[in-house]
Copies of this chain bind each other. A is one copy, B any other.
Amino acid sequence: MTTIRELAQLCGVSLATVSRVFNKPDSVSPKTRERVERMARELDYRPNESARTLATGRSTMVGLVWDTDHRRSGWRHPFLQDLLIGLKSALSAHGYHLLMLATGEAAHHRQVGASLADPVGYVDTVRRHDLAGVVLIDSGSDAEAFALFAQSGLPCVAIDVAVDGPRATYVTSANAEGAGQAVRHLLGLGHRRIATIAGPARTRPGADRLAGYRAALAEAGVPVREDYVAEGDFYRASGHSAMRKLLALPEPPTAVFAAGDEMAVGALLAARQAGCRVPDDVALVGFDDIEVAALVEPALTTVAQDKSGFGRAAAAAVMAMVEGGKAAPTPAPVELATTLVVRDSCGAAAPR
Using CB atoms and an 8 Å cutoff, list the residues of chain A in contact with chain B: 1, 22, 37, 40-41, 44-51, 53-54, 59, 61, 64, 68-69, 76-77, 80-81, 84-85, 88-89, 91-104, 106-107, 110-113, 115, 124-125, 127-130, 265, 291-292, 295-297
What is the distance, in angstroms, from A72's C-beta to the closest C-beta of chain B?
12
Is there an interface contact between A103 and B110, defined as CB atoms closer than 8 Å?
A: no
List 27 contacting pairs A-B, 8 Å CB cutoff, sorted by A. A1-B127, A37-B113, A40-B113, A41-B113, A44-B113, A47-B128, A49-B128, A50-B51, A51-B54, A80-B80, A80-B81, A80-B84, A84-B100, A88-B100, A89-B104, A89-B106, A95-B107, A95-B110, A95-B111, A97-B129, A98-B100, A98-B102, A265-B295, A291-B292, A292-B292, A295-B295, A296-B297
Is there an interface contact between B110 and A94, defined as CB atoms closer than 8 Å?
A: yes
- Set B50, B91, B102: member contacting A88, Cβ < 8 A: B102
What is the distance, in angstroms, from A41's C-beta to the closest C-beta of chain B?
4
Residues of B within 8 A of A94 (CB): 110
Is there an interface contact between A106 and B127, defined as CB atoms closer than 8 Å?
A: no
Is there an interface contact between B97 and A68, defined as CB atoms closer than 8 Å?
A: no
- Of all chain B residues, the one with the shortest Cβ separation from A124 is B46
- Report the bound CA distance from A315 to B37 in whole Å: 38
What is the distance, in angstroms, from A85's C-beta to the closest C-beta of chain B?
4
What is the distance, in angstroms, from A252's C-beta to the closest C-beta of chain B?
24
- Report the bound CA distance from A216 to B186 in whole Å: 52
Residues of B within 8 A of A89 (CB): 68-69, 104, 106
- Set B50, B53, B76, B81: member contacting A76, Cβ < 8 A: B81
- Report the bound CA distance from A115 to B296 in whole Å: 48
Residues of B within 8 A of A125 (CB): 97
Residues of B within 8 A of A44 (CB): 113, 115
Is there an interface contact between B97 and A92, defined as CB atoms closer than 8 Å?
A: no
What is the distance, in angstroms, from A305's C-beta to the closest C-beta of chain B?
16
Residues of B within 8 A of A265 (CB): 295
- Report the bound CA distance from A69 to B85 in whole Å: 8
Residues of B within 8 A of A110 (CB): 93-95
Residues of B within 8 A of A128 (CB): 46-49
Residues of B within 8 A of A98 (CB): 99-100, 102
Is there an interface contact between B111 and A102, defined as CB atoms closer than 8 Å?
A: no
Residues of B within 8 A of A85 (CB): 68
Residues of B within 8 A of A101 (CB): 97
Residues of B within 8 A of A107 (CB): 92-93, 95
Is there an interface contact between B50 and A54, defined as CB atoms closer than 8 Å?
A: yes
Is there an interface contact between A130 and B48, defined as CB atoms closer than 8 Å?
A: yes
Residues of B within 8 A of A291 (CB): 76, 291-292
Is there an interface contact between B50 and A59, defined as CB atoms closer than 8 Å?
A: yes
What is the distance, in angstroms, from A272's C-beta to the closest C-beta of chain B?
10
Is there an interface contact between B99 and A45, defined as CB atoms closer than 8 Å?
A: no
- Of all chain B residues, the one with the shortest Cβ separation from A308 is B68
- Report the bound CA distance from A127 to B48 in whole Å: 8
Is there an interface contact between B106 and A47, defined as CB atoms closer than 8 Å?
A: no
